């Protein structure tokens, strides 16, 4: 039986956001990402931190909007799969209509562009990221191939993360009036890899199942095997951890930064090992562990700044 939606576009979209993109947690996550990333960049460049600035606000609004754009695009891209396998989701359940999603997508894109007009010199990179998002939306114009091959889909879609991070680097350089030649690109590249690898691990972790949980939905555990998929995610998380340790040494961070980093990594590895040795429908939920690890890295840097500068 289909859900009978409440009248009104705003009420339907409120239901959608509550289920698929809760505003406050996602806005907080965007803020933590941007503030921690900017604070890393400022420590790398050896310049004072500017948490409360126009550039930071633009970065937070842009990341929040961009992730919502990707979420709304996925609703339209995956509507056939959702009708078949995820009928409880808002669109297939009839809680929100497809035209609602299309209108919201247009509105959020407009908001994203308008926000970036405030920093005209960074607008071009924001449009590059938006353009790549549209390519993803169109499955790079080879939908039949990408829909059949999860790894190829991963290889073409996951680079949106370094594009987003590169946008933040450009926004940072504009905010501080730093010419590109004066940026420490070797360390910045390591920072981008650190954040990207955590996101890559999250993408793998959210599509890992036990044999009993598998269905027609293609997962990484079906491709790599249960243990293989965990090792792929764990390797990416370990790479991020090693880079975090490198920054701890080279940027002279405090022991508190190290403690938070170790706690986040240890908790994540415990979740991975637990699933390997005790696979069931409870231990297979590795996505929360991947999210907590990302959060621990963000918090470690922000706490380092607040208490130790």
Q: What is the pLDDT of residues 253-269, one digit of tens each?
A: 999 999 999 999 999 99
- Count of structural domains within the chain: 2
pLDDT score, position 170? 95
Instruction: Please check whether residues 245 and 164 belong to one and the same domain.
Output: no
Q: 222: domain range?
A: 184-309
Last residue of a domain, one of 183, 210, 236: 183
Q: Which residues contact 133 (CB under 8 A, 6 or more apart)?
A: 66, 69, 70, 73, 160
Task: Inform me whether the pLDDT recorded for 277 exceeds 80.
Answer: yes
Last residue of a domain, one of 183, 215, 249: 183
Six-digit token string for 188: 């910045």
pLDDT band (50, 70, 90) for residue 4: low
CA distance 78 to 85: 10
Task: Inform me whether the pLDDT recorded for 1 exceeds 50.
Answer: no
The residue to which tokens 């009420």 are assigned: 11
pLDDT score, position 5? 56
Last residue of a domain, one of 183, 208, 235: 183
pLDDT band (50, 70, 90) for residue 250: very high
């Amino acid at each position: 039986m289909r859900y009978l939606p409440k009248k009104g576009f705003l009420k339907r979209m409120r239901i959608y956001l509550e289920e698929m993109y809760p505003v406050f947690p996602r806005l907080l996550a965007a803020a933590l990402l941007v503030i921690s990333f900017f604070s890393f960049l400022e420590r790398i460049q050896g310049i004072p931190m500017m948490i409360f600035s126009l550039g930071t606000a633009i970065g937070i609004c842009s990341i929040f909007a961009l992730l919502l754009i990707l979420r709304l695009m996925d609703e339209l891209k995956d509507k056939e799969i959702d009708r078949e396998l995820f009928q409880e989701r808002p669109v297939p359940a009839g809680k929100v209509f497809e035209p609602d999603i299309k209108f919201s997508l247009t509105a959020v894109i407009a908001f994203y562009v308008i926000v970036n007009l405030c920093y005209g010199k960074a607008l071009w990179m924001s449009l590059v990221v938006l353009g790549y998002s549209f390519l993803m939306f169109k499955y790079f114009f080879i939908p039949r191939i990408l829909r059949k091959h999860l790894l190829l889909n991963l290889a073409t879609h996951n680079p949106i993360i370094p594009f987003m991070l590169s946008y933040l680097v450009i926004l940072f350089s504009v905010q501080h009036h730093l010419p590109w030649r004066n940026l420490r690109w070797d360390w910045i590249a390591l920072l981008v890899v650190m954040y990207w690898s955590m996101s890559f691990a999250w993408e793998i972790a959210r599509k890992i199942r036990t044999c009993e949980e598998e269905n027609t939905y293609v997962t990484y555990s079906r491709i790599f095997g249960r243990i293989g998929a965990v090792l792929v995610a764990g390797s990416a998380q370990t790479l991020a951890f090693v880079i975090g340790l490198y920054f701890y040494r080279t940027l002279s961070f405090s022991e508190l930064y190290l403690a938070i980093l170790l706690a986040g990594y240890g908790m994540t590895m415990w979740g991975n090992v637990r699933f390997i040795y005790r696979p069931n429908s409870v231990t297979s939920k590795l996505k929360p562990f991947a999210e907590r690890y990302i959060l621990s890295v963000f918090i470690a840097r922000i706490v380092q700044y607040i208490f130790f500068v």
